[in-house]
Amino acid sequence: MSSNSIVEKYLRTDKLPHIWCPGCGNGIVINSLIRAIDNAGLKQEKTVVISGIGCSGRASGYLKFCAFQPVHGRVLAYATGIKLFKPELHVICIMGDGDCASIGGNHLIHAARRNIGVTAVVLNNSNYGMTGGQYSPTTPEGARTRTSPYGHIEPPFDICELAKTSGATYVARSHTYKPRILTKYFQKALTHDGFALVEAMCDCPTLYGRLNKKGAGKEMLMKQKDRAISLEKAKNMSSEELEDKFMVGEFVNKIKPEYTNQYTKMIEKVKLEAD
């Protein structure tokens, strides 16, 4: 499908222009996502997009689906309710790293543990963008943010490792320099039967980029490319060599019973026994 048709089909063009800064990675990720939705053949009327509060959280307002924006950090809680009530729906959760791993961290580990069949799309820009650039749970050690002006002293969460350890059955990471790879991973996540999470390393040139002297949009995008190391290559690298890098690829891709399927079967069994 041509770019114009994709835009017409999936974006609420009456809501444009969007609020994102020039050079922000959010647009690249959403572009990759709508292409994946199109490739996967999802029906718009059978797809719900839920996004949190934050710059990334604006996405659901621009997308032409059944859309919903709950309070900050509760995307996966609402997604769980929607999926349980109507398991036939595709539920796509768009979250910032703060939304997903800070205030929403508990929902993340339990959604992954249950293996509920929703797709989590995490736009990780290493900070809280919308509220002015505070540090988030993924801010790298040493990085400067509004709340770590002398360099951050906390170790960051690795969202993919967290999702994997918690039980997610599809987990992948790529970045905004590789939009086609993002589309490929999104497509696999959207057609996966279980909890699927794709983390997109995303640029915030206005806040995180400026405070860490990463340059404007284009320069920051190039730097993302230099920091990305494939899982294969990382196996032969020392921890010193991996400093300031992030690993990309598929961390998990496995089959396990999906939560709402199990739940539905259980209800049917109980009903039969009661008759």
Interacting residues toward ligand TPP by CB under 6 A: 52-56, 71-72, 96-99, 103, 123, 125, 128-131, 136
> Does position 204 bind ligand SF4 by CB under 6 A?
yes
Rounded least distance, CB 60 to ligand TPP, Å: 12
Are the beta carbons of 207 and 133 closer than 8 angstroms?
Answer: yes
Edge-to-edge strands, sheet with 90-96: 66-68, 47-51, 90-96, 119-124, 196-201, 170-175, 246-253, 228-230
Instruction: Give the containing element (helix H, strand E) for 128.
Output: strand 127-128
Rounded least distance, CB 205 to ligand SF4, Å: 6
- The alpha-helical segments, DSSP class H, found in 97-169 are 97-98, 105-114, 159-166
Of 192 and 214, nearer to ligand SF4 (C-beta) is 214
Q: How far apart are CA 62 and CA 15, in angstroms?
A: 6
Q: How far apart are CA 80 and CA 82, in angstroms?
A: 6
Residue 205 binds which entry of ligand TPP, ligand SF4, none, CB below 5-8 Å type-dependent: ligand SF4
How many residues of this chain bind ligand SF4 (CB under 6 A)? 12
- Per-residue x/- marks for ligand SF4, 7-36, CB under 6 A? -------------xx--x-x----------
Integer CA distances (angstroms), 51 to 133, 227, 235, 247, 263, in order: 19, 27, 34, 25, 25
Rounded least distance, CB 241 to ligand SF4, Å: 29
Residue 207 binds which entry of ligand SF4, ligand TPP, none, CB below 5-8 Å type-dependent: ligand SF4
> Does position 205 bind ligand SF4 by CB under 6 A?
yes
Residues of the shown chain interacting with ligand SF4 in the complex, contacts defined by CB under 6 A: 20-21, 24, 26, 55, 125, 129-130, 204-207
